[in-house]
Structure 1
Amino acid sequence: MATAKFEVSQFDGKIDFDMWSQKMKAILMQMKCAKALDDSWPEGLASNKKFEREEIAWSTIFLYLSDNMIREIGETTTASNLWAKLKAKYETKTTPNKCFLLKQFFSFKIDPAVDLEENLILLNSISDKYKDIKAALEYGREELIVDYITNALRNKALEIKAESIFLQRSMNVAID
């Protein structure tokens, strides 16, 4: 049997959590320890096997997190606890995550590590379908942080995608 090598980026809070989490689940399934994410172990699994798989799952997730994420998540002892913290903070479907993104968006600050030109290019490159976000950024805040702009734009993109799917489904129902 050949072994496969997988390339998955470290999660740093800037990339798409939903996509990253799906890839992580696939890796954990390959390692036969995905059940650790929700503690849904099969009955009869020996406790030493469960413990071993739990350690593999936790360490795998941990190693695919950036240093900043590790600091942000804090100390965890189980894969399910680590996974739950990540989902609570970054999964796009949760209300707390939407509130977190809105809070980030409205407290946006220019990144002092990046020159002003790069910050302005980022604002000017925002397309017209995000014009409400662009207006809020241009006129609503004195300070901006690049991470907040990108998070707000990702959130808006997900809203647009959801609306598009809803419209497609509505049209399909109307046609039927």
Structure 2
Amino acid sequence: MEDPKAGEILEQSTEPQTSASTSSTPASTSSSWQRNSLSNAKFDIEKFDGTNNFGMWQCEVLDLLFREGSDIALSSKPKDISDEDWNYVNRQACGTIRLCLAKDQKYFVMKETMASSLWKKLEDKYMTKSIENRLYLKKKLFRFQYKKGISMIEHLDNYNKILADLQNLDVEISDEDKALLLLNSLPDTYEHLTTTLLYGKDEVKFIDVSNALVNNEYRKKDQLDHRDSALEALTVARGRTNNRRSEVPNERGKSRSKSRGASRSKPKGESSFRRPAKDECAYCH
């Protein structure tokens, strides 16, 4: 039998992300819990520090435990697993879970050797299913509004986080209510799109509304990029035309300047008619 400590993963406290690699199971072949694990697979999971989304963190850690074959430690002990194997898989699961916690969150579970007990303590602390929490999250959902300046994808991410938190509290929102509440969160500029999505329909799906909002934003962005490109091309064309005009001689301007110069060569008021002298005949001269 391998040393039970050999499968534990060393913590790298200086890294903001937890890079965990799955380890092999003990040498015993009689236990039904053993699965083929990915010994070289690595997964980056954001450490839970008490402020990030606990439900999402929990989902990622469960996936990691499943990949390394130690998720069974979160349930009761099967009859066909020896005590030695059961202790090993629990130590392995506890080590993996703690590696995905920030240092401040490890203190109250640092002595736990049973994964189910450690997991329950985390849920009791960070996922309290109280009526106050349900009320808070429902208010947050019903009052959810689009924030000016963010992308539609960011808006949908924020909305889905609220839905995930409610689901963690065993609060189920129907698919149609998800779609209608999402449409209700949009500003007045989306009124035409909302009418288009609902017109002539008896029901609406959340996935259809989400896709329509994202596609609408992409279309607007493409139109804006096309307009900017057209304006830029027009500006360049006008600049070239102005440059050509400045290089062509202005004949009209030159003729005008010549005529002005000729008129200026004569003294002001001088006429081509010469008055005859007193002793001269006006008809002869």
Compute the TM-score of the two structures, normalised by the length of structure 1.
0.54
Unpaired runs of 5+ in structure 1?
103-128, 132-153
Which residue does 2:117 correspond to in 1?
81
Please list, as runs of the form range in 1=range in 2, the aligned pairs for 1:105-120 lying within 5 A after superposition: none
Which residue does 1:116 correspond to in 2?
none
Q: Does 1:70 align with 2:106?
A: yes
Q: Secondary structure at the match of 1:8?
A: strand
Q: Secondary structure at the match of 1:6?
A: strand
Q: Is the alpha carbon distance of 1:22 and 1:97 closer, same or farther for their aligned partners in structure 2, counting shifts above 3 Å?
A: farther
Give the C-alpha shift of residue 71 in structure 1.
3.1
Which residue does 2:53 correspond to in 1?
16
Give the C-alpha shift of residue 67 in structure 1.
1.4
The one-letter amino acid paired with 2:98 is: F
**Over 4 Å off, 4+ runs:** 72-75, 154-159, 161-164, 168-171
Partner Cα separation in structure 2 for residue 24 and residue 36 of structure 1: 13
Q: Does 1:59 align with 2:69?
A: no
Name which of 108, 112, 133 aligns with 1:98: 133
Q: Is the alpha carbon distance of 1:96 and 1:89 closer, same or farther for their aligned partners in structure 2, counting shifts above 3 Å?
A: farther
Give the C-alpha shift of residue 76 in structure 1.
2.8
Please list, as runs of the form range in 1=range in 2, the aligned pairs for 1:33-48 lying within 5 A after superposition: 33-39=70-76, 41-48=77-84
The one-letter amino acid paired with 2:97 is: I
Q: Is the alpha carbon distance of 1:67 and 1:157 closer, same or farther for their aligned partners in structure 2, counting shifts above 3 Å?
A: same
Which residue does 2:62 correspond to in 1?
25
Alpha-carbon RMSD across the aligned residues, in angstroms, is 3.8
More helix by share: 1
Identity of aligned residues (%): 26
The one-letter amino acid paired with 2:43 is: F
Q: Is the alpha carbon distance of 1:96 and 1:164 closer, same or farther for their aligned partners in structure 2, counting shifts above 3 Å?
A: closer
Residues 73, 93 of structure 2: 8 Å contact kept: yes
Higher relative contact order (CA 8 A, sep 6+): 1
Residues 88, 97 of structure 1: 8 Å contact kept: no
- Between Structure 1 and Structure 2, how many residues are aligned? 122
Residues 88, 96 of structure 1: 8 Å contact kept: no
Deviations 1:68-108 (A, max 9, x none): 1123557433211110011122237x117828x96xxxxxx
Partner Cα separation in structure 2 for residue 44 and residue 157 of structure 1: 36
Partner Cα separation in structure 2 for residue 166 and residue 90 of structure 1: 29
Give the C-alpha shift of residue 10 in structure 1.
0.9
Compute the TM-score of the two structures, normalised by the length of structure 2.
0.35
Unpaired runs of 5+ in structure 2?
1-37, 137-142, 146-160, 181-197, 204-285
Q: Is the alpha carbon distance of 1:165 and 1:43 closer, same or farther for their aligned partners in structure 2, counting shifts above 3 Å?
A: same
Q: Does 1:7 align with 2:44?
A: yes
Partner Cα separation in structure 1 for residue 55 and residue 104 of structure 2: 19
Whose radius of gyration is greater, 1 or 2? 2
